[in-house]
């Protein structure tokens, strides 16, 4: 992908990542996908979505800017064993001129059940100054289209949850 796009992407609701599978190096001593690798899969799906928006991994160096995840909340719902096929769905919940609010869901690739969710805030950053900067206008236009398509989706289960233990008293 170059620093500008010569086509208008089609946005589906939600965005669905390429197929992936749990690799041996991603499993832990408990025999399932380790915590860090859930994040890796969510990150790969986000990179694919960013490529559609015109600011993915190949375009970022040419533009001199990228998105950095600054906050995340991950819920681990069900174990994924070695070799399990997976796909990630991504919903753009909201945005402004510098931030994206995303909700991703990791699904078993053939059975469809939810293995994990990740809610996150990503900040657009100038790679030279390492500071927040406005999203380029052409990317912002695509974000607006993606958001309008995703706005029709129901609110994701678990969105906006906080971390904490319920009191037993």
Domains identified in the chain, total number:
1
Confidence (pLDDT) at 7: 59
pLDDT class of 2 with cuts at 50, 70, 90: very low
Confidence (pLDDT) at 11: 87
Is the pLDDT at 13 greater than 50, yes or no?
A: yes
In a domain, 39, yes or no: yes
Percent of the chain with pLDDT over 70: 95
In a domain, 129, yes or no: yes
In a domain, 12, yes or no: no
In a domain, 159, yes or no: no
Range of the domain at 142: 24-150
In a domain, 161, yes or no: no
Beta bridge partners of 102: 92, 120
pTM of the model: 0.90
In a domain, 169, yes or no: no
Confidence (pLDDT) at 165: 80
- What is the CATH number for 85? 3.10.129.10
**pLDDT 10s digits, 68-115:** 999 999 999 999 999 999 999 999 999 999 999 999 999 999 999 999
The secondary structure element, H or E, covering residue 72 is: strand 65-76
In a domain, 144, yes or no: yes
* Segment 20-27 long-range contacts (CB within 8 Å, at least 24 positions apart): 20/44, 20/85, 20/86, 20/87, 20/88, 20/109, 21/83, 21/84, 21/85, 21/86, 21/109, 22/80, 22/81, 22/82, 22/83, 22/84, 22/86, 23/82, 24/82, 27/81, 27/82
In a domain, 118, yes or no: yes
**pLDDT 10s digits, 81-90:** 999 999 999 9
Place of tokens 């160096």: 61
| CA dist list (Å): 40 to 10, 54, 152 | 25, 21, 28
- How much is the mean pLDDT over the chain? 92
């Amino acid at each position: 992908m170059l620093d500008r796009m010569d086509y208008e992407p089609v946005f589906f609701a939600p965005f669905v990542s390429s197929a992936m599978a749990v690799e041996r190096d991603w499993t832990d001593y408990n025999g399932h996908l380790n915590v860090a690798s859930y994040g890796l899969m969510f990150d790969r799906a986000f990179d694919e979505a960013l490529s559609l928006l015109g600011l993915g991994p190949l375009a970022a160096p040419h533009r001199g800017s990228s998105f950095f995840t600054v906050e995340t909340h991950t819920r681990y719902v069900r174990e994924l064993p070695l070799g399990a096929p997976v796909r990630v769905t991504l919903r753009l919940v909201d945005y402004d001129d510098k931030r994206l609010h995303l909700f991703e869901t990791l699904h078993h690739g053939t059975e469809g059940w939810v293995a994990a969710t990740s809610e996150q805030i990503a900040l657009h950053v100038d790679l030279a100054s390492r500071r927040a900067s406005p999203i380029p206008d052409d990317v912002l236009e695509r974000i607006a289209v993606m958001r309008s398509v995703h706005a029709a989706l129901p609110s994701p289960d678990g969105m906006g949850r906080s971390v904490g233990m319920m009191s037993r008293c």
